[in-house]
Amino acid sequence: MRLLSAFTLGVLVLPLTAYASEPHSYAQPDQVVVTHLDLDLKIDFPHKQLDGQATLKLDWKNPQAPSLVLDTRDLKIAKIEAVGTDGKVTPLKYALAPRDKQLGQKLTIAAPAHPAQVRIVYATSPGASGLQWLTPAQTADKKLPFMFSQSESIHARSWVPLQDSPAIRFTYDAHVSAPKDIRVVMSALNDAKHPLNGDFHFDQPHPIPSYLLAIGAGDIAVKETGPRSAVYAEPSVVGKAAHEFEDTEQMIATAEKLYGPYRWGRYDILVLPPSFPYGGMENPDMTFATPTVLVGDKSLVSLVAHELAHSWSGNLITAASWRDIWLNEGVTTYVQGRITEALYGKGLADEEALLSAHALQKEIGDMPANSQKLAPDPRGIDADDSLSDVAYDKGSWFLRTLEQRFGRDAFDNYLKGYFDHFAFQSITTEQMLGYMKPNLIEKYPGKMSWAEVQDWVYGTGIPKDAPLPESPHFDTIDQERSAFLAGQMAADKLGAKDWNTQEWMYFLDRLPDAPPLAKMQELDAAWHLTGTPNAEIGMRWYSHAIAAGDKAVWPAAAEHMTRIGRLYLTLPLYQALVKTPAGLSYAEQVYAKAKDGYHPLTQQAVDAIFAKARKAGK
């Protein structure tokens, strides 16, 4: 349905039915909605905390609402006040509920007089799940400390008290104090020429959900990559990053040609230290990115295409609950492929689509039936667990199927209309389908039945007629891999000299789960995979070599695991090692050295791997 077009306090007013039932938030948006956030924070590196205040502008929906309920996690609340329209400040009573392991603490603020604003004075915990604090020794340049946030899925509540649900959007501004020589950036408009004077101001004029609230601070240099883009990174990294991402402006222009104007003003990229737990985070105006994509040949810049694509799918139109997260990630992965194809060719885009499709085909059958659905039935899982390969890869596969059935021109027009129709709104799967039915399925009858659409969205597995692109290079690699494993081709005769990163990934992905040790040693002798600086290749190589029983690769694998905290590139090595008693012992030694440099999310994931392995070994 089309939402209301009235504006209050600069934010789109949503009808109450637009708010999804969100099991991962204590917020009560049917009672009151936060429309604007005003932050005033001080970065305290010695104590590893942010302290200051958050002032929330409120839109009271229920005239009888007795209180404002917010999400928090491990925040130290000093006081809470009502701020009237006349500026008068009145203390408010509040209660913090006992801590829930997943949801944190429910903060209930008694506010029967319905103040226009509520101000909360607070400080974060040194162990805040949404923040990572790095010492100078843990950074690339070893000079200054570094701090960054990761708010998705429900970690914004660990550094700001708010309604931490993707259904609720708000504008924000911020004043941040920091030590001299430290640059601060946020998911807002950033000034590349801002003096490093310890006094930073930010403005995000567009309504965003809480998981897109972001902050970073450290020894950060800047290089422009276009009239509306720049790369931010530590001084020793910024030049390499600017070269790798020099096509950013072309990416923006390509996406605009396909799907309409870029509406966020600037698109800057912050390259974080290697401990960042994800490949990238699509924070508006300032994507946070892993340095593991800086391989020198632009072979992994699809990550930038992906995060940029979120400026339309995810940031412009947001899934209203974590159950609907495929609306963000599936649509974005499809748009990423279109940007990659336009700039780097159909061959590379098809290879990346095949890599993700084959990985999903291998994994989806082992998932619980409900987890195989794009829009699953209600389930009691952590919000972070919603971000599975199903959301990304089944979602994008569905959109590629729609493109094939309806033709690229018709589907592009539909998708552009979809982005315009729901711009700056949070929607459910059912709202998306409600728009799709008249504007695509019924508009072009005979192309795809509604039953087929529902099977993709609510069905398990992958539909049998799901189309896959063709890749002659992958076909050749399949033949060579088979010949190599059968002893019919020596490792040094493989055509790998000309393989790009994706082709090496494909070759390694489709090796046996536990390949013969002699074959792995032969492959390493021919192509020197141990010690590779390419983290995508390294993760795959070490996982297979460890599974084959090659202890000679363990030290290089340990270096990879210590240097990189990105979940996707590190967890498979721990999983491979813990399968044997000796490997488990070695992995524990590696973790003891690496743990302090890992993000809290990475620590939690590795701890879970060890717990499962120890339980299985009893």
Q: Give the residue numbers annotated as catalytic, written as ranges.
A: 307, 392
Per-residue DSSP letter, 390: I
Number of H helices, E strands in the chain: 18, 23
What count of other Cβ atoms lies within 10 Å of the Cβ of residue 67? 18
**SS3 sequence of 438-469:** HHHHCCCCCCCCHHHHHHHHHCCCCCCCCCCC
Q: Which two tokens stand for residue 67?
A: 């209180």
Strand-pair partners of 108: 69, 95
Cα gap 428→470, rounded to integer Å: 33
Q: CA 135 to CA 150: how far, in whole Å?
A: 18
What Cα–Cα distance (Å) separates residue 39 from each residue in 54, 83, 126, 208, 344?
Answer: 5, 15, 19, 15, 41
Q: How far apart are CA 282 and CA 289, in angstroms?
A: 9
The Cα angle at residue 283 between residues 596 and 278, in degrees rounded to 5: 40
Alpha helices, DSSP H, located in 245-325: 248-259, 302-309
> Which residue from 2, 44, 80 is spatially nearest to 178, judged by alpha carbons?
44
**Phi, psi torsion values for 222, nearest 5 degrees:** -135, 140
- DSSP structure class, residue 320: S
- Tokens representing 526 are 């021919």
